[in-house]
């Protein structure tokens, strides 16, 4: 396995990580269908055995289910071999199947505390704002992440799906350790501005959906894609 340093964090992370969107199951708005919890846990354990040293999740994945499964997988991995855990805030389950968007301070703090509990940890390795929405709240949300870092509840802070102009607004408050953009052979928009900017600013880039949500795996038939 190859490793690279993530932005200004000093963290050496494997060039391949494991995302956990799908293991949240199908009982929420953006679910990928039913999942077997034991298979999900086994997949995480096996990924670590093969050299992956970071797991990416989010509070909204399965409305907390993914984080819980990640924590259960950690119980099966020796402490010295446990991977770094990255999770996200800013998408909030409203209780009626709908998903809200909120980066207000009180909401972000509640999300962080809930994630710490579900992940069974006292500090999150990388805490990220999931989306820059609402746009007018990104500075408040980012300052809250800065404060959570100062309190020792998170080690490093980053964002996902932000534009260059939004990154610049956040950088004026505190350096951004990492950005998660979608990037694959069929989604290359970030090459124009975002990747060059991140390179100049030493912002680590963690690409998500590198296989185009499965379209690049070679397993999709026309019928499956249509479904």
Q: How far is CA 202 from CA 129, 173, 175, 194, 198, in A?
A: 18, 16, 9, 12, 6
**DSSP summary character for residue 59:** T
Q: Cα torsion for 200, 187, 85, 128, to the nearest 10°?
A: 60
Asked whether 180 and 160 are in contact (CB, 8 A), the reply is yes
The verdict on whether 61 is a catalytic residue reads: yes
**Which tokens hold the place of 194?**
């975002």
Cα separation, 64 vs 76, in Å, equals 20
- CA dist 137 and 144 (Å) reads 11
Burial class of 78 by CB neighbour count within 10 A (0 to 12, 13 to 18, 19+): exposed
Residues designated as active site: 61
């Amino acid at each position: 396995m190859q490793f690279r340093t993530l932005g200004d964090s000093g963290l050496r992370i494997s060039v391949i990580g494991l995302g956990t969107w799908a293991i949240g199951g199908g009982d929420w708005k953006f679910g990928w269908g039913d999942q077997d919890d034991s298979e999900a846990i086994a997949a995480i354990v096996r990924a670590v055995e093969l050299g992956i040293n970071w797991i990416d999740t989010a509070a909204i994945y399965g409305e907390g289910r993914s984080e819980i499964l990640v924590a259960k997988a950690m119980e099966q991995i020796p402490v010295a071999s446990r991977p770094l855990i990255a999770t996200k805030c800013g998408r909030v389950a409203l209780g009626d199947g709908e998903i809200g968007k909120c980066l207000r301070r009180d909401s972000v703090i509640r999300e962080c505390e809930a994630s710490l509990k579900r992940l069974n940890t006292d500090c999150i390795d990388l805490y990220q704002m999931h989306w820059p929405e609402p746009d007018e709240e990104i500075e408040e949300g980012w300052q809250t992440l800065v404060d959570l870092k100062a309190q020792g509840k998170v080690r490093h802070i980053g964002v996902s799906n932000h534009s260059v102009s939004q990154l610049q607004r956040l950088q004026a408050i505190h350096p951004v350790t990492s950005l998660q953009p979608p990037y694959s052979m069929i989604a290359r928009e970030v090459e124009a501005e975002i990747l060059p900017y991140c390179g100049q600013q030493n912002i680590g880039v963690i690409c998500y959906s590198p296989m185009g949500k499965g379209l690049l795996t070679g397993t999709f038939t026309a019928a499956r894609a249509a479904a």
